[in-house]
């Protein structure tokens, strides 16, 4: 495997050429440690995946949406991954050996996830420098979890009573606590926003 990889395509930010004169010039250090782009700092694994999604010969369009999509994909990968004890996927290695075809390698990560190959997925993530389970650890303070569950129950009761104002107020209270809720056919789920 290569020790150094250099991108030779153009880098764009939100569809425009990156340049200091346009005010859209960001360093990796800024993306990692400040909220100057997208209102938050971005973990290295998220930045790496966002860049790997584009073949090195193509221009990379660095957008907040692309970073959010990379973050969501990494979360799904880590929810499905085991420990990186095994070997990476042969198809992933073949994609990388084929002119560093990183989009095909990323597609293989999705296939491993769908097939439930937990150890292969973890080993493949580790090979690409994307294995970062600490980013998606789900340790929640029990007192906070109890409060959130109580608020969600109260919101559901308000919705059953068609008290939309109260349901909206509770939703807004949860949002102020950085709790994202999702209503589905199986009930309401929640997670803390990062």
Distance CA 132, CA 22 (A): 34
**Cβ distance 41 to 34 under 8 Å?**
yes
Q: Tell how strand 179-184 and strand 187-192 pair up.
A: antiparallel
According to DSSP H, which parts of 81-134 are helical? 90-97, 102-115, 118-127
Residue extents of the structural domains in the chain: 11-136, 142-192
Is the whole-model pTM more than 0.85? Answer: no
The enclosing H or E element of 192 equals: strand 187-192
Average pLDDT over residues 36-55: 91
pLDDT band at residue 8 using 50, 70 and 90 as cut-offs: low
DSSP string for 35-63 = STTTTS---HHHHHHHHHTS-TTSPEEE-
């Amino acid at each position: 495997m290569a020790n150094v990889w250099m991108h030779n395509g153009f880098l764009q930010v939100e569809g425009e050429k990156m340049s200091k004169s346009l005010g859209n010039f960001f360093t990796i250090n800024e993306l990692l440690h400040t909220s100057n782009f997208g209102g938050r700092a971005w973990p290295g694994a998220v930045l790496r995946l966002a860049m790997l999604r584009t073949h090195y010969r193509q221009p990379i369009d660095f957008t907040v949406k692309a970073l959010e999509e990379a973050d969501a994909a990494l979360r799904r990968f880590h929810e499905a991954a085991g420990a990186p004890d095994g070997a990476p996927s042969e198809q992933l290695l073949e994609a990388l050996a084929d002119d560093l075809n990183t989009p095909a390698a990323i597609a293989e990560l999705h296939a491993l996830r769908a097939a439930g190959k937990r150890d292969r997925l973890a080993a493949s993530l580790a090979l690409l420098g994307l294995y970062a389970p600490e980013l998606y650890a789900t340790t929640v303070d029990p007192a906070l979890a109890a409060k959130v569950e109580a608020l969600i129950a109260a919101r559901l009761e308000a919705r059953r009573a068609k008290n939309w104002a109260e349901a909206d107020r509770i939703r807004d209270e949860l949002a102020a606590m950085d709790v994202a809720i999702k209503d589905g056919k199986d009930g309401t789920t929640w997670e803390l926003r990062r």
